[in-house]
Each structure stands twice: as structure tokens, then as C-alpha cells.
Amino acid sequence: MPNYGENKLHEACNEIAEEFIAQLEAIQNSDTKWTAPWSTSDQRPVNYLTTTPYRGFNVIRLAMTQVRHGYRYPYWLTFKQMMAVASKIGTPLSNKGTKGTLTVHYGRQFKKGWRKHGTSMAIHSNGSVVPIDKATYFGVNVFHLYNVDQIEGWPEGTFVDPEPKPEVPFTNERCLAWQEAARGKLPPILDSSQAAYAMEPDVVYMPKLNEFITDQPEENWWATALHEYVHSTCHEDRVGRPKGLSTKDYALEELVAEFGASFLTGFFDFKSDLQHREYIAAYAKAIRNDPKQMWHCAKAADQAATWLLEAGGLTWPNPLKQEEKQAA
């Protein structure tokens, strides 16, 4: 019998893979400069009811949807959650005529007839009670999310428009402070003519800043360093992500590093104009052959970027928490 969750995961991956490949090919075939829509910290999507930030593949999925449709806020709800919010605020809300964004979650699912009971138990519809691991399995759960901009009926003033960010020159102070705080957990950087990470002896090789002959040398140096730091999380003392040796594995690992570096440049609030065109054809081929690799790469990139931030004592910002501070 076909697995509904797996089929929907494949459907979601196909949708985003087609869009992503089209953008990759546009870069490859022109002088287009493309910035990943998930690479700005205030666009990291959040569940409006639970205030929980989305992770991995769903960050990319929802951020691309937000940019494509011009939604103002990175806040999302399921239909059931929308109804719960409407009840909570005492105002009817409607998403009539809108289409939800198919998203996926891999985690613990309850077997038919079972639900959570207390903190560590599960109860069946017939009254039986067992430990939660006896009534659950790990699998794919799918759901449709609606951006708050798709929902009508919000009371005036529900959302606070973010203050426009002033255009300021890039400074590396935050990057340096994070790097210093994570010292001992990150591999050392050694001078080299080319950027690379070597598992043995666990070092990052980087050209000197003056060798980046671009309009944004410092931004590009840091974007490249972050890319290599993401590679370094393959090490067993960090995330321990396996690295294959095939051409396909190499392309996918490079895509993990690209995703991870774009998450991190967004966190540190700068943009790089590097496009790494030499990898684009390999990315597109690997994703076209197996769209589900988008899910795996995004998940691995999110794990790597999160590990790197936490190594320096940092965490992802939550735009809902920032909005509360702004409104106070």
C-alpha cells in the first residue's frame, strides 16, 4: 500500500525542486544575481500559534513561497490552528479561496486509535494505556500551511510591520565575536590559494582577504569561510554527517554547504555576491534525478548551521519575539 506521507513528501520536494532548478539555470545561463530568500534572518518562518520556528526543508519551502507571493510576514498556520486562533481572539478568520503550502515533518507519529496521555504514555480509544514508544512510529506527516496574509478577519493592529533596516556598511564584528566564542570547537583556518575543508587534519584552508578581488571582498571572504565551516560539521566530533565520494555525493554535500552558508549569512545580516557557478549544473542534475534530496540537503544544512551557531553561544532569532519587543 502506498505511504501517503511519503507520497506527499515526494510531491512537496518535486514542487520546490522544479522552482529551485529553474532559478539555478537562470543563474547559469545569464548574469543574474540571485539571493536565497531564506538567507535573511527576519524571514525565517515561524508558526504563529506555537511561536516555533520551522526547520530544515520547511525553511526553504516557506521562504520561497513567501517571496513568490509577496507575503509581508513569515508567520504560518494550519487550518485547524487558524480556527483555534480565531476562537482565542474572539474574531472569525477565513482563508476561503486560498491555497495552502504543502509542508512536511518527519518525526514521531501515533498509530491509529492512539493519542498522547500525560508526558510519556499513550492511550487507545478502547482505554488501553501503554508507554508512548509502543503506540508510535517515526514517519512523515504532511500538512498545509497558510500565511497570515492569506487569512482575512485579523483585527487592526494584530501585526507590527518590521522597521526598515538602514543600509549600513558590512562589519565583521559579529562574525569575529562568534568565531572567538566557538574557538576550540571550530577547525583552525590556514592560509591557502584555494578555499577547502580537509577532514584530515581537520582544518579549513582559506585565501587571504586581499585575494578576494570582488566588489565585496570581506562579505565574500566570510561567506566562503562559513561555507567551509558547514563542510567541517561532517567531522564526527561535530554533527558527524557522512560524506560520500561519488560525484553525486560531492554535489549534494556542496549543496548542503551552500544552504548552510546562506542560512548563516542571513543570521549575520550580510549578503554575498558569490554564485559558485561551477557547481550549479551538478546541483541541478542531482536534484532533478532525485527531488527528495532537497529535503535531505536542507535538513543537513539546518543541522550544521544550528550546530555552528550554538558552538558560539548563539541561537536563531524568532521574529515573533522580536515583534513583541518592538510593540512594547
pLDDT per position as a tens digit, 160-204: 887 777 777 788 999 999 999 999 999 999 999 999 999 999 999
Q: Which residue has the higher pLDDT, 282 or 326?
A: 282
Q: Please tell me the predicted confidence (pLDDT) of residue 183.
A: 94
Mean pLDDT of the chain: 86
Top pLDDT among 88 and 164 is at 88
Q: Which has the higher per-residue pLDDT, 135 or 276?
A: 135
Average of per-residue pLDDT across 56-75: 89
Q: What is the pLDDT of residue 2?
A: 45
pLDDT above 50: residue 102: yes
pLDDT of residue 41: 53
Alpha helices in the chain (DSSP H): 4-28, 57-69, 79-89, 173-181, 217-232, 247-267, 277-289, 293-311, 319-327
**Ramachandran quadrant class, 294 (left: phi over 0; alpha: psi -120 to 50; beta: rest):** alpha
For the cut 50, the answer to whether the pLDDT of residue 1 exceeds it is no
CA dihedral 230, 233, 234, 235 (to 10 degrees): 140
What is the pLDDT confidence band of residue 327, given thresholds at 50, 70 and 90? Answer: very low
Mean pLDDT to the nearest integer, 219-238: 95
What's the whole-model pTM score?
0.83
Residue 281 has pLDDT above 80, yes or no: no
Highest mean pLDDT among 28-37, 71-80, 140-149: 71-80
Q: Which of 5-14, 38-47, 148-157, 282-291 has the highest mean pLDDT?
A: 148-157
What is the maximal distance between C-alpha atoms in the chain?
71
